[in-house]
Amino acid sequence: MEDKVSQTKSFTKVIDYIKKQIKSGTLLAGEKLPAERELSAILGVSRNSVREAIRTLDIMGMISSQQGAGNYLIGNFENNLVESMSMMFLLNQINYQQISQLRRGLELQALLLAIDNISDEEIEQLNMVISQLEHETEENNVILDKKLHYNIAIASKNILIIDILQALSELVDQFIVDLRREILSSEDSKYILLEAHNDMIKSLITKDKHLAYQAINKHFDIIDEKLSKNEMINVK
């Protein structure tokens, strides 16, 4: 039976081995990890240590454990980001102003990168979303607003920005209940956001990075103004 110190070392040994396999290209995304018995034999550690390492990698979003089929490398880190940020929020290490500040910086960088990388098809999709935003119900507008920002992030072609922005979006929905709905229910705020959204799309079409700066700042100025009014913020 391993003592706690030995089990911790064995646990780390398993994770380090898998990381080395990924780094060397031996193990690729979507591929199946060696069976627990095989990992135990290769590394000379107990099956319990292997299972503990696998559970940790699962929680981290590195692998997907499928009953009866084994463990597969997936690299889905968004869930881990959401959980980590959620804990930080609950422990008062971050607050909603800081979330908004980070989103402003990342959304701006996403838009600037999208200006360089976006395809005509992606611009067409964004134009369709904008058109719907002008005519849809409040409930659907909340969904379309998220879709617009997500599509711009996708067009940036930067995986880190995409994942972090998605995690931040989930965090906003989790802790700042109905924030988007509150903003979009106000005609003045809705109009300003629609202007900002239109300017974002225009900056993508015209490749105007100065307009992109203006659009993002207009967008987040109205959000920060609303966030500063505590009466409309409902933290779980």
| Residues counted in the chain | 236
Name the token pair of 162. 């995409």
Q: Which of these CATH numbers, 3.40.50.620, 1.20.120.530, 3.20.20.70, 1.10.3720.10, describes 79-232?
A: 1.20.120.530
Identity of the highest mean pLDDT range in 17-26, 77-86, 110-119, 165-174: 110-119
The average pLDDT across 89-99 equals 83
- Angle, in degrees to the nearest 10, between helices 187-206 and 96-117: 30
Question: pTM for the whole thing?
Answer: 0.75
pLDDT above 90: percentage of residues in the chain: 40
The tens digit of pLDDT for each residue in 141-153 reads 778 888 999 999 9
The one-letter amino acid at 194: L
Q: Which CATH number describes the domain made up of 4-73? A: 1.10.10.10
pLDDT tops 50 at residue 234: no
Domain with CATH 1.20.120.530 in the chain: 79-232
The tens digit of pLDDT for each residue in 49-61 reads 898 899 888 887 7
The tens digit of pLDDT for each residue in 164-180 reads 998 888 888 776 666 76
Domain with CATH 1.10.10.10 in the chain: 4-73
